[in-house]
């Protein structure tokens, strides 16, 4: 499994500093939605400049004008952008057009979807690159019902997010997960690099 750090702070300088500190221990760097709203595309551009070898995700959570937003973040250095599974069909189609014409990858975020398994099956095979599934803690047990319901892993990459830490990573079904997204369990720690190093070992 690959490790993705989510930069969900709102300070450009802090985000760039943390990214550089943890870069050796993560595979993917995400410019989170709050950071995009606070700083625009500046942080994406800077990260592409200082960490050109890293895969960058722009967590746009797009619901409309997907081609335009894809173009904006691609120009700024993003390798992936995110579109919501709840977005209108035309928005999803435009996201795929952006993939074809601009060369940016499309990750579909299932946040807010009631029947995630049904929606995932509906979106499979259309050309999306990844599906982002949010996990949860239910009565003290870490679980992702969508992963439990998958008889076999789809061809699309599976990213998991939400409450991911050193205690939950070992419980993930590795055969169904490609990328683990971690936020505060890295960025909120006193030593982000050490935290990322530990989590990276757990994903290997």
pLDDT at site 137: 53
pLDDT in tens, 145-204: 788 888 888 999 999 998 899 999 998 999 999 999 999 999 999 999 999 999 999 999
Answer for the pair 196, 5: CB distance below 8 angstroms, yes or no. yes
Q: Answer yes or no: is pLDDT of 141 > 70.
A: no
pLDDT in tens, 74-103: 999 999 999 999 999 999 999 999 999 999
Average pLDDT of every residue of the chain: 94
Query: What percent of the chain is modeled with pLDDT above 90?
Result: 86
Show me where the domains of the chain are located: 2-203
Q: Answer yes or no: is pLDDT of 140 > 80.
A: no
Q: Which residues contact 78 (CB under 8 A, 6 or more apart)?
A: 31, 44, 56, 57, 58, 104
Which of 3.20.20.140, 1.20.58.220, 3.40.830.10, 3.20.20.70 is the CATH number of 2-203? 3.20.20.70
Dist CA 95 CA 145 (whole Å): 27
- List 137's β-bridge partners, or say none: 142
165 phi/psi in degrees, rounded to 5: -155, -170
pLDDT at site 151: 82
Long-range CB pairs of 164-169 (<8 Å, 24+ gap) are: 164/135, 165/199, 166/198, 166/199, 166/202, 167/142, 168/135, 168/142, 169/1, 169/199, 169/202, 169/203
Dist CA 62 CA 59 (whole Å): 8
The CA-based dihedral angle spanning residues 113, 15, 192, 145, taken in that order and rounded to the nearest 10 degrees = 0
Token reading at 190: 């006193």
Token reading at 33: 């939605």
pTM: 0.95
Burial label for 196, CB within 10 Å (0-12, 13-18, 19+), is: buried
pLDDT in tens, 10-44: 999 999 999 999 999 999 999 999 999 999 999 99
Q: Answer yes or no: is pLDDT of 138 > 50.
A: yes
Rounded to an integer, the average pLDDT of 41-67 is: 98
Rounded to an integer, the average pLDDT of 59-74 is: 99
């Amino acid at each position: 499994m690959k490790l993705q750090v989510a930069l969900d702070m709102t300070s450009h300088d802090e985000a760039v500093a943390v990214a550089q500190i943890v870069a050796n221990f993560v595979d993917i760097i995400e410019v989170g939605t709050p950071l995009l709203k606070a700083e625009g595309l500046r942080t994406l551009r800077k990260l592409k400049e200082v960490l050109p070898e890293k895969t960058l995700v722009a967590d746009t959570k797009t619901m409309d004008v997907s081609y335009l937003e894809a173009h904006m973040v691609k120009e700024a250095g993003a390798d992936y952008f995110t579109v919501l599974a709840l977005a209108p069909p035309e928005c999803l189609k435009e996201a795929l057009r952006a993939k074809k014409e601009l060369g940016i990858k499309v990750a579909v975020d299932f946040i807010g979807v009631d029947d995630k398994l049904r929606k995932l099956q509906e979106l499979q095979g259309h050309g999306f690159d990844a599906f982002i599934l949010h996990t949860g803690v239910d009565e003290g047990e870490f679980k992702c019902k969508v992963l439990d319901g998958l008889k076999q892993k789809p061809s699309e990459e599976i990213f998991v997010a939400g409450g991911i830490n050193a205690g939950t990573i070992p419980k993930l079904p590795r055969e169904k997960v490609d990328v683990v997204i971690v936020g505060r369990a890295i960025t909120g720690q006193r030593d982000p690099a050490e935290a990322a190093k530990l989590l990276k070992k757990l994903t290997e």
